Amino acid sequence: MTTLDAHSALAGEPVSTVPSRFGRRSITQAAIAAAVFLIAMFVLPALTSTFWVKNFTSAAILSIVAGATGLLYGRVGLVSLGQIALYGVGTWVTMRLGFATDWPYPVLVLIAGVITAVIGVLLGLPALRLQGLYLALVTLMAAAAFLVILADTKFPTGGPGFKGLVVEVTNSDSMRRPDVAETDFGFYRYVLVVAVIMFGLALAHLVSKPGRAWASIRHSEAAALATGVNTTTYKLWAWGLASFMTGIAGGLLAAHVRSPSTFTFGVEQNIILMAVVVMGGVATLWGGVVAGLLVAVLPELLQKWGFSSEWSLILFGTGLFANLLITSWQLDKAGIKE
Amino acid sequence: MIEVEDLTVRFGGVTSVNQVTLTFPAGACGLIGPNGAGKTTLFNVLSGFVRPETGRVSAFGDDLLAMPDYARARWGLRRTFQTEQAIEALTVYDNVLAVYEHTTKGRAARQAAVLDAIGLVGLGDVAFARVGTLSPRQRRLVEVGRAVVGTPRVVLLDEPGAGLPEAETEHLGAVIRTIPDQVGAMVVLVEHDMSLVKACCEWTAVLDFGRLLASGPTAEVLRDPEVLKAYLGQEELQ
């Protein structure tokens, strides 16, 4: 009866103020993010060689792709095994436009982001009806189809026509970089800034109306519909946002490696990415950063320590398993069934 | 007021709702019947998750079946489910806000509306706690809060009292009774707990094997010998 007595006043405690979303916890988070950013921006390059700065550039680029994949899976409940293919679309579009025009580099990347978003939404159409394993399979098959097309068209090298290939490969086949970031160190910082903008874009979505709509969809589509969420719109919006981020990352990759190889976009890379994304954690956007570091830096570290970089696959597998085990313990302790 | 006319729903060979014609008046109404009577199916027709084979459904004069499912929430139709639907990862405030912003136009007064709904169900002291940290009773109240925020016209509650101890059900009943006056919405309550139905509903309809068995003022319906026989065996109602 105590429960009833304690709550028998129907009006309850009157609440009139809403705590700011920028409360103490958010300020701590922002401070940590700022510290990580500043260290990555100024301390890290001072301590390491060009080789490692290049690896950290890859990590920053891949963390955008991982963040986008984690957003789709962790926040909306959609499994995409086609993210690396979309990453390749972004790279291809940036290279093709880069050779065909003299538009500023940010414009190229932005267009690549938009075109990738459109293709991503088309890829997301089956997601309106499919879930779980079947969605994973369909997106993986789309990634495989993309690789077949890519193997035929190859990355543009400055030639004419739709494919933009030159017959005799010369030194002119590499992608240009923005003027402010010609050096490897400069481009590393450029990528960091873009990555922060992309994560900011994702965060802005998550704390506002779309973020709450996605949380509703992830919890239960029926309940989301019953509370007025147009699930079609919001699912496609999620695909669009994730693909836009991925396309931007592809644009960065074009100027990072300058003459990309199709091997970077192998079908198996999609599965590895998904595993590392889950391993990094999908509950916060930090997981994307962790995943980016794991996938780009860990293999190089292993190599440096005298192991084959292929060992990273085994570490990813065990790491994924450990993560799932720990998560299920934590859920169990918190009394949450998932 | 909800008017259901000649409603039939079939799943393969099973006729879940069979030529039901009934009217729920404004206020709070009960919808009772044994398991499999078609209560939740009727709710699913109202929400748009199930397409009926025949029949018409109108609410306050508007044709519900003509609206897409998500648009019905914007029209003012809300519901809770038998399974828990409050989102654990979000706070109580964000849970209620998520419903408000998808059902109501304009941003003005949204804080006030969300806090009003939270106050109505008596969760003011945990308004900014994550739903995952709340007790089952509180989670149930979050769902009621989600159903009453803004300007709903019809609130469908599917077994809100299931699994709650008696004292907690009493508080839930008190909350439900305030909805027609304080929120201005009519309530349809599907419930197996007769004390909750008696406490909340002036008017009750009884379904049995997809057919309408009786409808009318709650006290009369619960005395109806047909209802007692079909729904409760021969026992007297307490």
Span A67-99, pLDDT tens digits: 999 999 999 989 999 999 999 999 999 999 998
Q: What is the ipTM of this complex?
A: 0.82
Residue of chain A with shortest Cα separation from B100: A227
pLDDT for A2: 35
Res A5 pLDDT > 50: no
Nearest to A216 among B98, B111, B168 (CB): B98
Reported as a single tens digit per residue, the pLDDT across A283-324 is: 888 999 999 999 999 999 998 898 888 888 888 988 888 888
Contact A227 B175 (CB under 8 A): no
- What letter represents residue B225's amino acid? P
Q: How far apart are CA A21 and CA A323, in angstroms?
A: 29
Q: Is A19 on the interface with B (CB under 8 A)?
A: yes
What is the 3 state secondary structure string of A123-176?
Answer: HHHHHHCCCHHHHHHHHHHHHHHHHHHHHHHCCCCCCCCCCCCCCCCCHHHCCC
Contact B124 A334 (CB under 8 A): no
**A-chain residues within 8 Å CB-CB of B122?**
7, 9-12
User: Residue A10, exposed/middle/buried by CB under 10 A (0-12, 13-18, 19+)?
Assistant: middle
Query: What would you measure as the largest C-alpha separation in chain B, in angstroms?
Result: 55
**SS3 (DSSP) at A274:** helix
- Nearest C-alpha of chain B: how many angstroms from A8? 6
Contact A18 B120 (CB under 8 A): no
pLDDT less than 70: residues of chain B: 106-108, 231-238
Res A169 pLDDT > 70: no
Nearest to A219 among B70, B87, B101 (CB): B87
- Nearest C-alpha of chain A: how many angstroms from B66? 16
Count H helices and E strands in chain B, helices first: 9, 10
Q: Is A284 on the interface with B (CB under 8 A)?
A: no
**SS3 (DSSP) at A79:** coil
For the ranges A6-20, A38-52, B78-92, B183-197, the lowest mean pLDDT is seen at: A6-20
Q: What angle do CA A294, A300, A302 make, to 5 degrees?
A: 90
Res A156 pLDDT > 90: no
In contact, A263 and A30? CB cutoff 8 Å:
no
- Nearest C-alpha of chain B: how many angstroms from A243? 25
Res A132 pLDDT > 50: yes
pLDDT for B233: 63
- Nearest C-alpha of chain A: how many angstroms from B229? 34
Among A316, A203, A191, A178, residue whose Cα is nearest residue A250: A191
The better pLDDT of the pair A45, A249 is held by A249
pLDDT for B230: 76
Q: Which candidate in B43, B67, B99 is best for mutational testing of the A interface (most A CBs within 10 A)? A: B99
